[in-house]
Structure 1
Amino acid sequence: MASDLISIARSGTRTARMALDVAAHNIANASTEGYVRRTVRLEEIGSSNGVTAAGKLTLSGVSLGGVIRNADAYRQSEVRRTGADVARANAELEGLKNIEVALEESGLYDGIVGFEASLKRLESDPVDPALRAGVVEAARAMASSFNLADNALKASSEGTLFAAKTDVDQVNTLAAELGRINLKLSRSPVGSGDQASLLDRRDTLLGELSQKVGIHTSIGTDQNVEIRIGDSSGPLLLSGFTSSPFTMTTAADGTLSFAVGGTAVVPGAGSLAGHAQSLDMASVVQGRLDDLAVEISTIFNNSQAGGAALDGTAGSPLFGGTGAADMSLLFQDGRMITTAPAGSPANSRDTSQLAALNAALTSNGVAADMDSLLFDVSAAVSGRTVTRDTLVTIADNAEISFRAQAGVDLDEEAVNLVRFQQAFQASGRVMQVASDTFNSILGIR
């Protein structure tokens, strides 16, 4: 008889034991990263038999309908999306801070101002050897500052590029692992503890992947995940058990471009997007730095070409190079600085050529250009810091909302332990009562 007391009690003890295992598992993994709280779905067992009237249903105990993960797909998606935005902001901000440090620690602004000041001092006594030597030394210090700034910028970009390559490798590794999890999920019984563990692992890997690049996910009825880069119309990174290669290309100016399976894509979130944005900024700063070096060299060398040195000979270029990286001095003798117009006699005190040079440097705003570059980078750092802090707050709220649902409440689990323990004991008591009842019936004479 399907609905006898022994069968009912046995189903109750078995189900209560399974529920106790789930509660104990929740408690044991309360601090485990990526763990989602499980609950059990209990279902009444109904059966019909020939003894009861046709169509009648008798209750025959309880069964475990499945293990449920308390994970809301929308909240999980929000955690990944906001986390990807924070990762992008952090990566970009780190790159911008490195650019700022490279410019400030090079002392380039002070070098330009010092060079202009040395030319002003020379104007007071154009034949003074010490003042002429001071101009050469100031020019050397300025050129070295340009070299230092360029080297520091390149080192910063190389560090960012290395981090981006590492992230690309991680994207491919995570996508391949998610493909393997899809395969395991397709073979895992629905509602089982194994499936719940695989789903935890899947969601953890999706969170790690979204930290690298913004993704859009679609979950099938078999719990397999499909991943696209960007939004729902982006190229497929993972479909079924097969992932497409995610690649990165570095341009001559140091900027980055990405592709999935050969299809170009522009990440809008994740650390790779931040690395790409910081390298874009580094390329712009590098260009402005080179332009400034060329501008100073051109102004000064043109002045040299139209003037006379201290011994009356025609002037020659002081600065060589094609940009900040290779800016250098072509002579070290202060007597070769032209202060007088071409054709002036030796030891001339005519400073009209030098005055024109100072005016050209001032009118072109060489020092102001460098100050503007420093200000623009600092303003970018400040603005991105505010943005990052705002995104962190949004991400924290999304995480709190998700954890309120998916996190383990130890007090609640303690109550569940007591409740299911009592259910187990009650089912055992029913078995005892059933046994005593049947023994009493068998003892009737």
Structure 2
Amino acid sequence: MSNLLNIGASGLNAAQVALTTVGNNISNVNTTGYSRQTVLQTAAISQSAGNYTIGSGVDIQSVQRAYSDFLTSALWSANSSMQGATTTNNLATTLNSALSASGNLQSALDSFYAGFSTVANTPGVASSRQSLLGNASQAATVYNTLGQQLTAQQSQVNAQIKTTVDSINTVASNLAAINNKIHEAGTNVPNDLLDQRDSLVQSLSGYIGVSAYTQTDGTISVYASTGQALVSGSKSFALQTGNNQYDASRTEVLDDTGTVVSGKISGGTLGALLNYRTNVLDSVQNQLGQSAVALATSVNTQQSKGLDLNGNQGGAMFSVPSPTVLASNLNKGTGTVSASITDVSGLTGSDYVLSYDGSNWNLATTSGQSVAMTANSDGTYSAGGLTLSLSGSAQAGDSFQIQPTRQAATGLQMVMTDPNGIAAAAALNATAAKANTGTGSISAVTVTDPTNTSLLSGATVSFPSANTYQVTDSTGNVLSSGSYASGQTISANGWSVTPSGTPAAGDSFAIAQNSNGLNDTSNALALANLADAKVLNGGTQSVVDAYGTLTTTIGTVGSQATTNLTTQTSLYNNAMSAQQSVSGVNLDEEAANMVKYQQAYQASAQVISTAQTIFSSLISAIQA
């Protein structure tokens, strides 16, 4: 009877453990990270009874998690991608909202350039000039607001980088503590600890791309996308944040040795923040700054080619900040660098690093692409539309970061306050001598160098013969001379003319300051035509075109971010479904198991009852 009793007791115990496990599964059906548990049962070793063996009941080997390494790793990877896509989409949405909320720059530019046409038609009307200045102020304000919004997002991203690194370190520390508990548990590791372990890795994967390797003792080692260990056994290795070596307002990520690893991190929220800042936000700021520089430079230059209502050479309408030069905090020498924009069309939208190797200066983009420089006779260097001036004594290893247009939009200002300062009139005109006998004529005088000090001093273009020309100043000094052919351009003192027709020998033309500004508003028309002037990107884009390209770029970034988020969310949901199909709790299945184990429990109890009845009958028979 003893064997039957033992067999019934083993079955009763097995059914009880199974029922407890089922109950635990049901109670944790909504617990995030919980893995369904099952009882592993085996038949107890049978005992020999001569020519046959009799079963000895059931043994419980373990309570196991329903778990798949492959599916769980796939879920971590999908989570990293989805969290990164979510972060990028949120930032892109904010960027698009900032663009909309800051005012329509396209409309402001259209109104500004159209104002010059109005002034050209009504040069003496004060209200037309005042309205133009109002339009100019509005355009500058929209640039400022956009620039400030982008700067604010830079600050937001830097703050998020620090917060995310703090979160990574907290999770890594908690994971190391769980690893320690798992190690101390030895071979009998509680399933709940393993679930907590995997849940922490899941959280970590949302912050940064990770690789995880499970050790033989159940602990897990986690490595960042940089290759740095975040967790190994019971130890965690904290990431750090610090200031960029050039820009103290820019947050960088460092490994536990203090090495900057921002450019190597990928995946998760942190990877998305760093990628967005470098490849989207920096680029957008630079492109907007390019547009602001082009606006100010082109308008100011054209202003200087005309005369204002007071008869003076036109002054600047806008001011724009010079390129920002930031010295590395690692510099040992006393060298300094200054930069100026000398060719707007040569600007590339890139930032640069100028470094000294002990004998030569080298220029590269911040992404590491080498840039050729031209050494000028005055000791300066030229590259990318910039002129770089060096002074002091640099040491090998010293470097400087150059941001040609990063602050231009924020710092753009309208400096003209007097409506009479609008240079609507042409600076110079040409008057044919009354004694001319040829068919030659000069319709316009083009200003080529408004900085020439003799621009307005007057000159005479004469043709000693039909095939020669001569330019003399007001005192009779010869400025230039040579052979002449029809359609040839003649230049002197910062201006040029291209006669049409055929001048006769002895014909001449007087080049003088325009004294009829209200009737000659060609410079105002030239200012209006700047709306279509190709002044950027090697002479292929106007200011209006550049802004259109920028809005398209921002829109594309937003659209791609939304599409990618949809894709990554779908992939994550698929990965979660696949993982949960193995590890998740199914209430219908658990309900069926509960009935099955309940019946097994009752049947085992009946076996015990039967054993007791037989034993009682046997005792009664012996006593009789």
TM over 0.5: yes
In structure 2, C-alpha distance between the alignment counterparts of 1:161 and 1:93, rounded to whole Å: 17
Summarize deviations over 1:149-208 as a string: whole Å, max 9, x none. Answer: 01111122222322222211111000000000001111226456xx11111111111111
* Corresponding residue of 1:136: 133
* Corresponding residue of 2:85: 89
Shift of 1:218: 0.5
Amino acid at match of 2:272: G
Summarize deviations over 1:62-107 as a string: whole Å, max 9, x none. Answer: 2221111112111111111112111111111221222222223222
Shift of 1:11: 2.0
Residue pair 1:308, 1:314 contacting (<8 A) in 2 also: yes
User: Which of these residues, 517, 520, 541, is aligned with residue 350 of structure 1?
Assistant: 520
TM-score (norm 1): 0.92
SS in 1 for 2:299: helix
In structure 1, C-alpha distance between the alignment counterparts of 2:81 and 2:108, rounded to whole Å: 39
Q: Counterparts of 1:107-118 in structure 2 under 5 Å?
A: 107-118=104-115
SS in 1 for 2:409: coil
SS in 2 for 1:41: strand
C-alpha distance 303-317 of structure 1, shift in aligned 2 (>3 A): same
Shift of 1:404: 1.5
Q: Counterparts of 1:183-222 in structure 2 under 5 Å?
A: 183-188=180-185, 190=187, 195-222=190-217
Residue pair 2:161, 2:251 contacting (<8 A) in 1 also: no
C-alpha distance 75-64 of structure 1, shift in aligned 2 (>3 A): same
Amino acid at match of 1:92: T
SS in 1 for 2:520: coil
Residue pair 1:311, 1:347 contacting (<8 A) in 2 also: no
**Structure 1: stretches of 5+ with no match in the other structure:** none
In structure 2, C-alpha distance between the alignment counterparts of 1:254 and 1:104, rounded to whole Å: 26
Shift of 1:315: 2.3
* Corresponding residue of 2:308: 309
SS in 1 for 2:56: strand
* Corresponding residue of 1:366: 543
Shift of 1:17: 1.1
In structure 1, C-alpha distance between the alignment counterparts of 2:209 and 2:188, rounded to whole Å: 30
* Corresponding residue of 2:150: 153
Residue pair 1:125, 1:349 contacting (<8 A) in 2 also: no
Shift of 1:47: 6.3
SS in 2 for 1:67: strand
Q: Which has the higher contact order (CA 8 A, sep 6+)?
A: 1
What is the RMSD of the two structures over their aligned residues, measured on CA atoms?
2.3
TM-score (norm 2): 0.66
Report whether the alignment pairs 1:267 with 2:265: yes
Identity %: 27
Q: Which is richer in helix?
A: 1
In structure 1, C-alpha distance between the alignment counterparts of 2:251 and 2:267, rounded to whole Å: 14
C-alpha distance 253-386 of structure 1, shift in aligned 2 (>3 A): farther
User: Which of these residues, 64, 68, 82, is aligned with residue 72 of structure 1?
Assistant: 68
* Corresponding residue of 2:583: 406
In structure 2, C-alpha distance between the alignment counterparts of 1:119 and 1:223, rounded to whole Å: 76
Report whether the alignment pairs 1:237 with 2:414: no
User: Which of these residues, 97, 100, 123, is aligned with residue 126 of structure 1?
Assistant: 123
C-alpha distance 144-57 of structure 1, shift in aligned 2 (>3 A): farther
**Structure 2: stretches of 5+ with no match in the other structure:** 322-407, 428-512, 535-541
Select between 210-219 and 37-46 the one with higher mean Cα deviation: 37-46
Q: Counterparts of 1:366-385 in structure 2 under 5 Å?
A: 366-385=543-562
User: Which of these residues, 274, 277, 285, is aligned with residue 275 of structure 2?
Assistant: 277
Residue pair 1:236, 1:260 contacting (<8 A) in 2 also: no
* Corresponding residue of 2:171: 174
C-alpha distance 390-254 of structure 1, shift in aligned 2 (>3 A): farther
How many residues are matched?
A: 437
